[in-house]
């Protein structure tokens, strides 16, 4: 059947433009001719509809004795139309009847590409809707009594900085004549046209990013690279310097998850134009990013819980051996929660991965499978962070009567602020970055440097590790083989400030 020709669109997408437009025009013409055979005379009203994999069809007919006050809105999956078919029928003096054919194509944009819309060298065209076709078959007078309105659902992410155009197909190109945008939001756009044809919605965006965006992107790249460096140094330190009695499992896995997530995100954005050509790869990357970032937040929550337990047991740290949750159970929880969320999301809301930036599509609702858990974890971590700060301050007043109050306050303040970033609490700024570029820059810097703060607090400011660093560097400089690392026990004050779990 001619309708099945749409199923071969993807196979022809690599052809030259002339072949694409020629094939597309044949599909449109043949489908409209075939659909016109479904139009039958009627005294009142009748309708026919069907749905196939790549095309949906709606036929509505009215006769001289139609009893409807107005034609019901006609729907396909991605579009709806409002047409005054009764008014058109009244203008047909001979038959007093009319019919409309409404076709929605789910893959026609691969043939009638957005690139066929007039553009300049510094703009990019993006097809924002499915292609639809509306005709009036077997109707003697096809003049419209009033404009036809189309409501398009956006099939790609909406860019507020872009310009939307309601266009129709004119043999070899998309043009705007006779069509205009009535209103729009992030999910839908309403177009109005004074004639019938094949229509679509195209967004035009600048290919030259604003200067501020270029600077922000450069800052992002630099900050992420610095953060990746310190994530790597922290992991290397934890691997070469395993501290007896200290459970670093949460910190190690925070580093692993965020190191891989930031690295994958950075590479994806740098090679986005190449990755976008392979949609399957883009979908896999967005799903993996969802998993890695979410698992990173789960490990931040685990770290907050372990620190809270450590601080609460501070007064008993010398008299009682504290039980530590088994690492295997922590790993199952840390990665299992993220895996379950991603798996359920992919099943419940299919085709929601693989946005224009190879992330979760905003218009599918799946973004809340990320924002929801993250919001809950941030709220819990902030509560735990406040509790840890209060308990830590109280404990230091009891344990450090001989320490300078000013010095103690500075140490507590610095390490408390560092823990605020390590536990991910600074990610809360992400909910407010749209209204302030200053907050966006602060959010970017803080959350790209979680590895830096982990390295400073748990490596550089750890007495034992500093001493082992000195011995290692001394051995390297003298050309001698480094000796085995010997750990020096730290006093309760230093262990407590860092939130280290000790036996």
Taking the chain (503 residues) in runs of 10, the rounded mean pLDDT of each run is 42 62 86 87 89 89 86 90 90 86 88 79 84 88 87 86 89 90 90 93 76 74 93 88 72 92 92 83 92 93 85 51 62 92 88 83 78 90 84 65 53 69 80 74 86 86 77 71 43 40 36
The CATH classification number of 2-206 equals: 2.60.220.50
Please state whether the predicted TM-score (pTM) of the whole model is above 0.75.
no
User: What number of residues does the chain have?
Assistant: 503
> Is CATH 3.30.530.20 what the domain over 211-497 is classified as, yes or no?
no
Cα distance between residue 50 and residue 71, in whole Å: 19
Half-sphere exposure of 483 (CA within 13 A, CB side): 9
Distances (CA, A) of 374 to 264, 275, 364, 427, 443: 20, 27, 18, 9, 15
**φ and ψ at 287, to 5 degrees?**
-65, -40
pLDDT at 163: 87
pLDDT at 503: 35
Q: Where are the CATH 1.20.1070.10 domain residues in the chain? A: 211-497
Closest CA to 199 of 132, 127, 149, 108: 132
pLDDT at 305: 87
Closest CA to 257 of 303, 214, 311, 321: 303
Q: Where are the CATH 2.60.220.50 domain residues in the chain? A: 2-206
pLDDT at 149: 94
Pairing relationship of beta strands 45-51 and 188-193 according to DSSP bridges:
unpaired
pLDDT at 3: 38
pLDDT at 278: 84
């Amino acid at each position: 059947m001619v309708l099945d020709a749409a199923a071969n669109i993807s196979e022809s997408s690599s052809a030259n433009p002339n072949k694409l437009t020629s094939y597309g025009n044949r599909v449109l013409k043949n489908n409209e001719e075939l659909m016109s055979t479904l139009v039958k005379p009627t005294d009142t009203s009748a309708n026919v509809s069907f749905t196939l994999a790549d095309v949906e069809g709606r036929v509505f007919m009215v006769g001289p004795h139609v009893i409807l006050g107005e034609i019901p809105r006609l729907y396909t999956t991605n579009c709806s139309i409002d047409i005054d078919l009764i008014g058109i029928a009244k203008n047909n003096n001979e038959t007093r009847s009319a019919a409309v054919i409404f076709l929605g194509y789910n893959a026609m944009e691969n043939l009638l590409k957005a690139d066929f819309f007039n553009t300049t060298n510094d703009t990019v065209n993006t097809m924002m809707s499915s292609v639809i076709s509306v005709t009036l078959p077997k109707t003697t007078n096809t003049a419209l009594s009033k404009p036809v309105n189309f409501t398009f659902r956006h099939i790609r992410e909406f860019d507020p900085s872009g310009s939307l155009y309601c266009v129709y197909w004119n043999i070899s190109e998309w043009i705007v004549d006779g069509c205009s945008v009535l209103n729009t939001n992030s999910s839908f756009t309403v177009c109005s046209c004074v004639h019938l044809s094949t229509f679509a919605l195209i967004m035009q965006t600048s290919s030259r990013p604003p200067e501020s965006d270029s600077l922000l992107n450069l800052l992002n790249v630099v900050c992420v690279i610095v953060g990746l460096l310190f994530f790597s140094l922290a992991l290397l330190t934890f691997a070469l310097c395993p501290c007896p009695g200290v459970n670093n499992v949460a910190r190690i896995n925070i580093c692993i998850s965020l190191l891989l997530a930031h690295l994958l995100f950075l590479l994806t954005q740098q090679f986005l134009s190449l990755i976008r050509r392979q949609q399957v790869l883009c979908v896999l990357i967005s799903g993996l990013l969802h998993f890695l970032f979410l698992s990173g937040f789960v490990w931040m929550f685990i770290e907050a819980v372990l620190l809270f337990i450590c601080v609460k047991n501070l007064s008993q740290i010398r008299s009682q051996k504290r039980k530590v949750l088994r690492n295997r159970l922590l790993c199952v929880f840390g990665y299992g929660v993220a895996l379950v969320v991603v798996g359920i999301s992919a099943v419940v809301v299919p085709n929601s991965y693989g946005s224009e930036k190879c992330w979760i599509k905003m218009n599918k609702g799946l973004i809340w499978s990320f924002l929801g858990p993250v919001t809950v974890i941030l709220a819990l971590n902030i509560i735990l962070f406040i509790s840890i700060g209060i308990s830590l301050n109280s404990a230091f007043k009891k344990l450090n009567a001989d320490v300078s109050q000013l010095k103690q306050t500075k140490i507590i303040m610095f390490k408390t602020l560092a823990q605020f970033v390590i536990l991910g609490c600074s990610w809360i700024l992400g909910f407010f970055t749209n209204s302030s570029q200053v907050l966006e820059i602060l959010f970017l810097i803080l959350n790209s440097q979680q590895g830096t703060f982990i390295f400073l607090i748990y490596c550089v400011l750890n007495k034992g590790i500093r001493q082992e660093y000195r011995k290692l560097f001394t051995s390297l400089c003298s050309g001698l083989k480094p000796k085995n690392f010997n750990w020096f026990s730290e006093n309760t004050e230093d262990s407590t400030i860092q939130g280290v779990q000790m036996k």
